[in-house]
Amino acid sequence: MHTNVFGTNVLCDVARQVGVQKFLHISTDEVYGTIDVGSFRETDVLTPRSPYSAAKAGSDLIALSYVTTYGLPVVVTRCSNNYGPYQFPEKVIPLFTINLLDGKKVPLYGDGGNVRDWIHVEDHNRAAHLVLTKGVVGQVYNIGAHHELTNRELTYKLLELTGRDESFIQPVDDRLGHDRRYSVDISKITALGWSLERSFEQSLLETVEWYRDNRRWWEPLKAKAGA
């Protein structure tokens, strides 16, 4: 499950009561904090630097504590940034895509140098299912694509795919507590039998085309958010 600290407690208690065979807790690479070089392994110390990532780290620890205390069969995944169809417009790829499709500017934080690893949601889902079925209880598994881009590089790719130029970039103040780079070591999940199937360039193109073709899905969401 993917939830907050309080929700994790409730779900773990319910899972105990109904006797689930496996409890999958889906987390994020943000719990590790920022890293300048290299990649975080599952055994590295968690150093979250924002209230959101701290809450996610707390959820991880709560879920794992149920293994020791109650014998609940918990496994945890920590994934890098997802993209794909049906992603809500507040996330960077859909937000930038629909803004550009509508001829609006895109807000680029700071110098645009923050680095993120991008994985298609289908690749993530396959990895999560593999952990659910074959992962060792009490273990954590990183999931990532090792396709790192700066936010500026990602923005230029979206400009190209929507036929816009750099005049559509609107620099904005950097976000508070904005981690510079996330990166996770994925040797453990690959050893379990998982590998990437989706090409980033092709999948990003397909994602942009999906938003271009599915205005009736995202326009009401954008209007509701007042964007």
Confirm if 63 and 26 have CB atoms less than 8 A apart: no
Max Cα distance, the chain (Å): 57
**Beta-sheet strands, E only, within the chain:** 23-28, 74-79, 81-83, 106-109, 115-120, 140-143, 148-150, 169-172
User: Would residue 52 show up in a list of annotated catalytic residues for this protein?
Assistant: yes
User: Would residue 201 show up in a list of annotated catalytic residues for this protein?
Assistant: no
Active-site entry in 29, 42, 117, 123: 29
Active-site entry in 44, 52, 148, 185: 52
Query: Helix crossing, 92-101 with 200-213: angle to 10°?
Result: 50
For residue 156, report the phi and psi dihedrals to the nearest 5 degrees: -65, -35
Active-site entry in 30, 60, 117, 179: 30
- β-bridge mates for residue 171, sequence order: 108
Instruction: Collect all residues with Cβ–Cβ distance below 8 Å to 199 and sequence separation of at least 6.
Output: none
How many angstroms separate the CA atoms of 179 and 55, rounded? Answer: 16
How many angstroms separate the CA atoms of 193 and 89, rounded? Answer: 33
Q: Structure tokens of 98?
A: 């629909």
How many angstroms separate the CA atoms of 191 and 214, rounded? Answer: 37
Look up tokens 């690893």; give the residue: 117
Identify the three-state secondary structure at position 13. helix
User: Would residue 156 show up in a list of annotated catalytic residues for this protein?
Assistant: no
Q: Show which residues are catalytic.
A: 29-30, 52
